[in-house]
Structure 1
Amino acid sequence: MAIPKQESLPNSPIFDKNRSGFNPQTGIYHSLHHLPKHHIIPSHPNLNTATYVLSQFPPPEQAETKVALIYSATYYRLTYSQLYKSITSLAAGLYHGLGVRKGDVVFILSPNSLLYPTICLAVLTIGAVITTANPLHTEGEINKQVHDSGAKLAISCPEQIHKLYSTGVPILLTSKEDSNQLSVEELIQNCQALEIPEVKSIQSDIAAILYSSGTTGTSKGVVLTHSNFISVFRLLKWSVDVSKAYDDVLLCFIPLFHIYGLVFFGLGLFSLGNTIVLMERYDFKGMLEAIQNHKVSNIPAVPPVILGLVKHGGGGYDLSSLRRVGSGAAPLSKEVVDGFRKKFPWVELRPGYGLTESCGAATFFASDAEAKARPASSARLLPGFSAKVVDIETGLALPPYREGELWLKSPTVMKEYLGNEEATAATIDSDRWLKTGDLCYFDDEGYIYIVDRIKELIKHNGYQVAPAELEAILTGHPDILDAAVIPLEDEEAGQIPLAYVVRAAGAKLTEDQIIQFVANQAAPYKKIRRVSFISAIPRSAAGKILRRQLIVQCKQQQPSKL
């Protein structure tokens, strides 16, 4: 959607704040949605994530038969009653058997599994803190996160355990396999009779440390509290009520270690009594089979998945049960949205926006009609959210249709970056405004449009890739003098990392050699996909890489799509 030119706006700069949510006196946009009293977070100080979620489970007579989880590949089902017993047994085992205490950090390294939600909720039940990692990460990346988070215990699937030996942290396997190592399965089986002592975790206590590259630089630990999570769960319940999305069967192929997967499928949806069909990892055919075989009605997805549905349709599978598809992690183009609605006219498509630093929440479409009317928008602010659009040059708050950096404030905003006062101060100001690093504008009815990323992150298939991290690897090569990494637009992945490299004099380094060099030191999704050789990296007087110049240069060198 094109932004109206300044001269086409009303002569008066005053916008109706009842329609736009914008207050010209303060420069603040307020949510046009209001949270009913029964959705407001209870003020009880001892309320924490686990006690809240478990208190919302179906009553015992329903929990015996109500299915909480289905493993897509095997059809194995876990009822809410079984899930509850697994959580409490594992919590008792962690406390009595392994000595995990309130405030201890537990590192989780596993792909999606039926045990993942049990592990998360059990850890939180005893007041410990979860930190999650991508199984694709290298041993070095995992070692760094374990020590940065201060983890006292690691829980790992058997296939990844070798990456943890160098950390020196005790390891608990998810399943027994052929190892003599203690497993989660054993603790659940052997600790059912043990009682969990009362642990007084309060809402301001830390619940999770999730690693994100933030607005710039290398990965940082996003500190999320119990209050952050509970705030999101209450918004999730509100969204279900306004959408009339009761008793949905949801498909999860999103990684549970990611904020999007964790908030929805690892924790929050169990407070609504939903049934979740779980895939270990995403594959397009497997997703279609799961929708057909399990009568899935709702998919929270990411843009590459939606693009696949647009390009390939249902592939001959029966997708008639599908009613809703959400989209997050990156913006959807208008072309993809229009293509999806044309191919699946009976399915509601609800794009949204959120960050790890806002506990995955920020905006929401309350109806499909709203989403259809504004295909380029990322919806309106959720209840309890406020926003500013801040001019990048002047720091002034801007009215509707003016582009600037999006700042957010809500009960879901993170506490801090772990042990990093400088990064925290650069991201959260003294009034607790979260600077997102995203360029946006609001229209005169309170809908937000994400225009571009000010921050330097590359979004590859929904993952965040920090250029600084790849540049550090590249410049570690003896034949590379300097390097800069920028995003290159890609239809399938959204963006791919492209490296501009300055070779040492006389060096014969090739593109393939550079790509392999980085691949040996970084997770697969972080890999350099393209290399361009350059005589010098453009930098400011202060030495900062002028990425925008490289991005413009790259676009000029790309052949036209027309």
Structure 2
Amino acid sequence: MAHVFRSEYPDVQPLDTAIHEAVLGHAAEEFGDTVALIDGTDDTRRLTYKQLDGFHRRIAAGFAAAGLAKGDVLALHSPNTIAYPAVFFAATRAGATVTTVHPLATAEEFAKQLRDSSARWIVTVSPLLATARRAAELVGGIREIFVCDQAEGHASVLDMLIGDAPEPMIDIDPAEDIAALPYSSGTTGTPKGVMLTHRSMATNLEQLTPFIPLGTGHRILAVLPFFHIYGLTALMNAPLRTGATVVVLPRFDLAPFLAAIEHHRINGLYVAPPIVLALAKHPVVDRYDLSSLEYIVSAAAPLDADLATACSRRLGLPPVRQAYGMTELSPGTHVVPLAAENPPPGAVGTLLPSTEMRIVSLDTPDQDAAPGTTGEILIRGPQVMKGYLGRPDATAAMIDPDGWLHTGDIGRVDEDGWLFVVDRVKELIKYKGYQVAPAELEALLLSHDDVADAAVIGVIDTEGNEIPKAYVVRAPSADALTAEALMTWVAGQVAPYKKVRAVEFIETVPRAVSGKILRRELRERAQGKG
């Protein structure tokens, strides 16, 4: 009989509400002139809750007037800006699904996502317009490319703010209709569209509510990207649902990040481990007044317990909290509550309300692991995705007939219910919180004329980051191929975070009889054991 771990918190009712209503449904009347969003690069640019509510409704009307209809997919291709939430919620209010696109994606990568998602509408910003246009050309069938600012020949969402088109009244089924379609590699393979319903996203906000001390007067800094489910939930949807003020930065650069904390008196940070590393060790941190900070939460990748302690001690803060989840889980399943006085070092949290977990044996997956031992983490709850778009086989491999989502992560639970993630599926590399699929890089490497075979694994560099390293077999008569030349070639075809950052030439790639790459042998080689 399966041993099921259950949350110690009372269940929450699934929130059968459209995501724009779950976040902004009462924003204008409850928070009114409270500042919702501030541009961290120019704090004269800000939006109140009343403006955000009105603007997203006007933009929704503009989208509908342009022909956007229920069931359409809109690709939102932008760095963090104060316009991003208004565009996202406008699209969902108009009945569309939003597929969020990495702003650094190449035109070819963007085109793959457009094609796979069947997106017919694009919203971008003028600095990224050339990439968006090229992607649209590669795919064909794009109805219109809108810009958030101004660009000749393109309709601007700014012009929609003064339009008089009627606000669309769309009948949304929260349990079935897809609100967001972020792309994730899951536990392995190439990126797949993750179907997150209005209900799964809204309910996950409800599940997180007891653990996030947000409200009017609370200021957080949005430096992690909104296109990523962590940023979308923790830095956009959750704070805007509660009347907090979100200071928006387009990217992480340490000095402006620290300056924004000081200038805006930021209360809370939601970050990934590389930012914790910078806060713990970089000398420039001492030049800034960070005394307004009350807490730090780290997620998106494992955080070393000693590093977390060094960061909290340096800043005079309570222990850095961790949280756990994945895109396929909307994303949260575990969090270390801020109220917990002495959480065990390295724990990623306890179960959120209405969430169940099993730890199953790695050797016999149909059986539970022995108490206190490691196994694969399985999750069941209302935040589980609807599935992978157009990939029923991949969905069935991820979610079993009983509704358990197989995370591919390896963990253990202590006697008090704290989860520790001790490993994860080896294939997926997380470079500074971004997912990098080895299969995608391997396929690209194999397309090079001078490469006979290739395998990619994650290795830890001198700064403690996991980076993609390629093991490459040169083709016959390709002795002149260098690591530098190959890395440069790859870099020209992928987004910067996906770049191969180390290359080692080998005689053969170790493979099983089935053809599967024996990555364990490559890891041992990387650690000097092979």
Normalization by structure 1: what TM-score? 0.89
Q: Percent identity?
A: 38
Give the deviation of 1:505 after TM superposition: 2.3
Identify the residue that residue 4 of structure 2 maps to in structure 1: 28
Residue pairs, 1:384-463, within 5 angstroms: 384-395=354-365, 396-463=367-434
Amino acid at match of 1:199: D
| Residue 514 (structure 1) aligned with residue 482 (structure 2) | no
Q: Report Cα offsets for 1:176-200 as digits up to 9, x if no partner.
A: 4341211111112224x63333433
1:446 is matched by which residue type in structure 2? G
SS of 1:537's equivalent in the other structure is coil
- TM superposition shift of 1:244: 7.8
Distance 1:57 1:471, change over 3 A: same
Report the secondary structure of 1:164's partner residue. Answer: helix
1:311 aligns with 2:281: yes
What secondary structure sits across from 2:324 in the alignment?
A: coil
Counterpart secondary structure, 2:457: strand
**Which whole-Å CA distance do the structure 2 matches of 1:247 and 1:26 have between them?**
45
- CA deviation digits over 1:316-370, x for unaligned, max 9? 1111100011100011101101211221223452111110000120101123545
Equivalent residue in structure 2 for 1:277, among 247, 269, 272: 247
Retained in 2: the 8 A contact 1:461–1:493? no
Match of 1:157 in 2: 125
Contact 2:236 2:246 in 1 (8 A): no
Residue aligning to 2:54:
85
1:551 aligns with 2:523: yes
Q: CA shift at 1:205, angstroms? A: 1.3
SS of equivalent to 1:234: helix
Alpha-carbon displacement from aligned partner over 1:115-155 (angstroms, at most 9, x marks no partner):
10000101111221000111111111110100110112111
1:436, distance to aligned residue in structure 2 (A):
0.6
**Which residue number in structure 1 is paired with residue 510 of structure 2?**
538
Q: Give 2:459's match in structure 1, choosing from 469, 476, 488.
A: 488
Other structure's SS at 1:315 match: helix
Instruction: Assess, with a 3 A threshold, how the Cα gap between structure 1 residues 125 and 497 changes in structure 2: closer, same or farther.
Output: same
Aligned to 1:172: 145
2:333 to 343, 351, 362: 362
Task: Report the equivalent of 1:101.
Answer: 69
Question: Aligned to 1:214, which of 180, 186, 201?
Answer: 186
Of 56, 68, 72, 2:36 maps to 68
State the shift of 1:276 in Å.
Answer: 0.4
Offset of 1:55 from its aligned partner? 1.8
Question: Residues 403-433 of structure 1, C-alpha deviation per residue, up to 9 Å, x if partnerless?
Answer: 1111111110101111011111111111111
The one-letter code of the counterpart of 2:3 is: G
Q: Give, in whole Å, the separation in 2 of the partners of 1:228 and 1:257.
A: 17
Q: Quote the residue 1:19 is aligned against.
A: none
Code of the residue aligned with 1:140 in structure 2: it is: E
Matched, 1:254 2:254: no
TM-score (norm. length: structure 2): 0.95
| Whole-angstrom distance in 1 between the partners of 2:346 and 2:521 | 27
What SS is found at the alignment partner of 1:397? coil
The CA distance in 1 between the partners of 2:387 and 2:498, in whole Å, is: 25
Aligned to 1:127: 95
Q: Which moved more, 1:158-167 or 1:244-253?
A: 244-253
Give me the whole-angstrom Cα distance separating, in 2, the residues matched to 1:505 and 1:285: 48
Aligned to 2:63, what secondary structure does the other structure show?
Answer: helix
In 2, are the aligned partners of 1:213 and 1:464 still within 8 Å (CA)?
A: yes
Q: Match of 1:115?
A: 83
Q: 1:360-398: CA deviations, max 9, x gaps?
A: 20101123545x441111111111111111112111112
| Deviating 4+ runs (over 4 angstroms) | 243-246
2: CA distance, partners of 1:485 / 1:491? 18
Structure 2 CA distance, aligned partners of 1:434 and 1:94? 35
Letter aligned with residue 214 of structure 1:
G
For residues 56-112 of structure 1, give each alpha carbon's deviation from its aligned partner in whole angstroms, at most 9, with x where no partner exists.
41526x40x20100111110221000111100000111112x111111100111111
Is 1:146 the counterpart of 2:117? The answer is no
CA contact (8 A) 1:389 1:440 kept: yes
Structure 2, unaligned stretches of length 5 or more?
none
Distance in structure 1 (CA, Å) of the matches to 2:24 and 2:253? 31
SS where residue 352 of structure 1 aligns? strand
2:161 is equivalent to residue 188 of structure 1: yes
Aligned residues of 1:27 and 1:398 also touching (Cα < 8 A): no
* Structure 1 unmatched ranges of 5 or more: 1-24
Tell me the matched-pair count: 521
Deviation at 1:52, TM superposition (A): 2.0
Distance across 1 between alignment mates of 2:323 and 2:346: 11
Provide the secondary structure at the position in 2 that maps to 1:276.
Answer: strand
The C-alpha deviation readout for 1:490-539, integer Å capped at 9, x for no partner, is 35362000100001223121010110111111111110101111100100
SS of the equivalent of 1:151 reads coil
Taking a change above 3 Å as real, the CA distance of residues 384 and 487 of structure 1, as seen in their structure-2 partners, is same
Change (3 A) 1:443 1:95: same
Deviation at 1:280, TM superposition (A): 1.1
- 2:252 partner SS: coil
Equivalent-residue separation in structure 2 for 1:322 and 1:342 (angstroms): 13
Match of 2:86, SS state, is helix
For 1:181 and 1:265, how far apart are their aligned partners in 2?
Answer: 29
* Cα separation, partners in 2 of 1:249 and 1:100, compared to 1, 3 Å: same
Match of 1:12 in 2: none
SS at match of 2:301: coil
Deviations 1:215-241 (A, max 9, x none): 11111111110111111111232223x
Q: 1:455 Cα shift? A: 4.1
Change (3 A) 1:196 1:505: closer
- Tell me how large the CA RMSD over aligned residues is: 1.8
Q: In 1, distance between residues paired with 2:345 and 2:28? A: 37
